[in-house]
Amino acid sequence: MTTTPATSALHMQVNGNRVRLNPRDPHFYNNPYTYYDVMRELPQPFYWEDFDLWCFARWEDVNALLRDRRFGRQITHLRAREELGWPPIPEHLKPFYDVDNATMIQMEPPTTRKTISKPNARASTLFLNSSGV
């Protein structure tokens, strides 16, 4: 890893598109914006070694990813946890996963739209009927 003039005052190391930056470092979490500025200048995506994740830091990239229907919140409807190489859900966390998997935030957009639109249509009809319109 190398330190550049832009990163020497910061507590981060950059090597090409790889970053070493401890997310628990008080310099980072007290003022992450200077670090984010540096990250936006990196080749995208960049690999944040401390998180072991590939990341995007530019608004345009994140916006495009969030709008791309090929990417979603869920994947287990396509592949089982075992196929993905994920460990089994620990027994003590199963109640959380049961509740979390039943929430609307976990649903893919078409399912969410179907779930939300019916009550909203009914509520609008009730409101319009009760207001005499």
Task: Convert the pLDDT of each residue in 12-71 to its tens digit.
Answer: 999 989 999 999 999 998 999 999 999 999 999 999 999 999 999 999 999 998 888 777
Please tell me the total count of domains within the chain: 2
**Residues 72 and 108: beta-carbon distance below 8 Å:** yes
Statement to judge: residues 57 and 95 lie in one domain: no
Statement to judge: residues 62 and 96 lie in one domain: no
For residue 52, tell me if it sits in a domain: yes
For residue 131, tell me if it sits in a domain: no
**Residues 59 and 30: beta-carbon distance below 8 Å:** no
Q: Which structural domain, as residue segments, surrounds residue 62?
A: 5-67
Q: Determine the pLDDT at residue 5.
A: 46
Task: Convert the pLDDT of each residue in 104-116 to its tens digit.
Answer: 666 655 554 555 5
Q: Determine the pLDDT at residue 133.
A: 47
- pLDDT bin (cut points 50, 70, 90) of residue 121 is low
For residue 30, tell me if it sits in a domain: yes
For residue 130, tell me if it sits in a domain: no
CB atoms inside a 10 Å sphere around CB 12: 24
For residue 133, tell me if it sits in a domain: no
For residue 14, tell me if it sits in a domain: yes
For residue 132, tell me if it sits in a domain: no
Statement to judge: residues 95 and 45 lie in one domain: no
**Residues 73 and 105: beta-carbon distance below 8 Å:** yes
For residue 81, tell me if it sits in a domain: no
> What gap in Å lies between CA 19 and CA 96, rounded to an integer?
33
Statement to judge: residues 49 and 93 lie in one domain: no
Task: Look at the block and give the residue holding tokens 């830091």.
Answer: 57
pTM over 0.75: no
